[in-house]
Amino acid sequence: MLPNLQHMSDNGNIMHLDGALPIQYLPKPPKRPRTSFTSEQLQIMQTHFIQDKNPDAQTLQRLADMTGLSRRVIQVWFQNCRARQKRNPLHDSIPPLDRYQTSWI
């Protein structure tokens, strides 16, 4: 985390030009946003994933419109879902046990 902070402090420290800008205040905490899907959105994506694991651009857009999510988010979900399935070939159909929301197909 905070790689920017890191290497900023260990260089020559030539940062006294006009400054009085102490290092401690510097970097912005970027905070990566993370979307969490509703069960409805998951339903739509999962259902589609079964019939097409690699949707093309316009299908992606269609799914985006259906779910209200951005095309990029949908795309990333499909990427992760493919990777997930590849890593874990066991459950490619229905999860065996019914623990509450295993969010997996």
> For residues 55 and 45, is the Cβ–Cβ distance under 8 A?
no
102 scored as a contact of DNA (CB under 7 A):
yes
* Rounded CA separation 47/62 (Å): 14
Q: Which of 19, 33, 68, 89 binds DNA (CB under 7 A)?
A: 33
Smallest gap from Cβ 18 to DNA, in A, equals 26
What's the Cα-to-Cα distance from 46 to each of 20, 53, 94, 98, rounded to whole Å?
Answer: 54, 10, 11, 17
Smallest gap from Cβ 3 to DNA, in A, equals 5
Contacts with a second copy by CB under 8 A lie at 36, 38, 53-54, 56-58, 98-101
